Amino acid sequence: MGNQTAYQSLTRTFERLHRFGHLGAIASWDQAAMMPAKGNEARAAAQAELQVLMHQLITSPELERQLQQAEQENLNDAQRASLREMRREWQQANLLPAELVEAKTLAASRCEHAWREQRKHNDWQGFLPNFREVLRLAREEAALLAEANGVSRYDALLDKYEPDMKSAEIARIFDDVKSWLPSLIERVRAKQAGEAVIRPQGPFPVERQRELGLEAMKLLGFDFDGGRLDVSTHPFCGGVPEDVRITTRYRDDDFAQSLMGIIHETGHARYEQGLPRDLLALPVGRARSMGIHESQSLSFEMQLGRSQGFLQLLAPMLRRHFGDQPAFEAGNLARLFTRVEPGYIRVDADELCYPAHVILRFEIERALIDGEIEAEDVPALWDQKMMAYLGVDTRGNYREGCLQDIHWTDTFGYFPSYTLGAMYAAQYFATMRRLDPALDGKIGSGELEPVFGWLRDHIWSQGSRWSTDELVRRATGEALNPAHYRAHLEARYLG
């Protein structure tokens, strides 16, 4: 057997897995955006079958032999990184029996499909039986992964989204945020109480909102030959790097929700579209972690999208689509898009309140997976933490409380990624401004390539070549430093 033969065989297997994953991703997008309700059981069964097929492929004994052989082959540094990511994916898969993979897929699909109606009807009791089953299977998965990796059950699930990150480190970072965030929210609200903000006057026809969203995507460099925009219950970015699907939802009395959602999802999409094309079929060519993924969407939505320079670009676009009105003056837009008002809904939360929503979910889901609480305990804990962190009363309001997110219908360990992403994004922009003090002026004049170019060079094109810490250190000169996040929030909201 010549050099690299085993590595080449592995490459072919992972290319097959990538193509199966492609089909699964598009089927999932269709399930969320286009599929009629009666198709759900059949689609769930088809998706479960595909997951089992992929699981069989990656757990084949032949693959273990090839991984061992490839370790002995004459590989370059890039191939070694690729082999490391292949092994990581193989290890994760081999710890889970096929029956568990299938059961999880079916339970998640049932829970998510029923959740759509249960949320509308504030039906926590109806949601609970499906949720208990999803939680039972998640704990089973967590126990298997935890035992093999010598970590806590929650850390084992967290590692799927944030490789090498530990919940103790996240808790330390979040406890620090909790020590200064409530008083910052209070100070900002007191400051903003004296500011006049003109509210845009609707209605804002959905078709014009869609046209505005498409124009914003174009401004942000989305490749429409490699993706599209659609509508779903919960906005998301899905599909595959070669065919990125983003979705939003519209309300005719509020264009901002949809517009900022589209800008957010376009950040995810640009990351996918910017991944190294020659490595897309391999684990090393994928996004590094969900925190890094969220750092892209939040670079677009929060760092760029709500900056004064970008809002100057947005003002004439709003007038063109919705007519001229005083609310669309750039200074007013800046006040409008940085308005701090604690509310119920995470995806609608302002930049300052958002981390409180994430921290409470992290604390609840960690306790759930580690067995400290049960499914029935979620509403009371939710109510208590919403009141403590944001002063918002959610008692009896499940629809806008613990039923609002799609995530717990199938996923635990993901929520911390949102605030880690916000922290990474603040660190990127601190670095960009240090390297280019004229950056904000360039953004205001429509010159966005300095931002995209930096992200492309330092994040998108790197895929999973480096560990998360190493990726961020190479990009910014240091590993994650939450001080940049606090400095950003204080400068924007108190400056």
- Lowest mean pLDDT segment, chosen from 231-240, 271-280, 430-439, 467-476: 231-240
pTM, full prediction: 0.92
What pLDDT is recorded for position 205? 97
Where along the chain do its domains lie? 6-153, 154-494
Match 């096929």 to its residue by tokens.
98
Share of the chain above pLDDT 90, in %: 94
pLDDT of residue 98: 84
From the list 85, 112, 162, 265, the catalytic residue is 265
- pLDDT confidence tier of residue 233, bands split at 50, 70 and 90: confident
pLDDT recorded at residue 2:
47
Dihedral sign, Cα of residue 97, residue 98, residue 101, residue 102: negative
Annotation-wise, does 294 bind a ligand? yes
CB 189 within 8 A of CB 224: no
pLDDT > 60? residue 113: yes
- The residue-averaged pLDDT of 450-466 equals 98
| 101 — pLDDT class (breaks 50, 70, 90) | confident
- Compute φ and ψ for 251, nearest 5 degrees: -130, 130
Per the annotation, the verdict on 265 as an active-site residue is yes
| Radius of gyration in angstroms for the set of CA atoms belonging to the chain, rounded to a whole number | 23
Per-residue confidence band for 50, with pLDDT thresholds at 50, 70 and 90: very high
Could you give the C-alpha distances from 21 to 7, 16, 239, 244, 372, in angstroms and in order? 21, 9, 9, 13, 35
In the structure, how many helices (H) and strands (E) does the chain have? Answer: 20, 3
Alpha carbons 242 and 276: distance in angstroms, whole number: 11
Both tokens assigned to 152 = 């806590």
Answer yes or no: is 264 a known binding residue: yes
- What is the average pLDDT across 294-323? 97
Question: What pLDDT is attached to residue 348?
Answer: 84
Mean pLDDT, residues 19-40 taken together: 93
Q: pLDDT band at 4, cuts 50/70/90?
A: low
209 has a pLDDT exceeding 60: yes
Say whether 458 counts as a known binding-site residue: no
Q: Which fold has domain 154-494?
A: Neurolysin; domain 3 (1.10.1370)
Torsion of CA 219, 223, 228, 229, to 10 degrees: -20
Q: How far apart are the first and last CA of the chain?
A: 65
As a whole number, mean pLDDT of residues 312-329 equals 97
Note the pLDDT tens digit of each residue in 169-183.
999 999 999 999 999
Q: What was the pLDDT predicted at 235?
A: 84
* pLDDT score for 1: 43
Q: Chain-centre distance of CA 409, in angstroms?
A: 16
| Percentage of the chain exceeding pLDDT 70 | 99
Confidence at residue 21, expressed as pLDDT on a 0 to 100 scale? 95
Contact 464, 286 (CB under 8 A): yes
Q: Which two tokens mark 253?
A: 């009395």
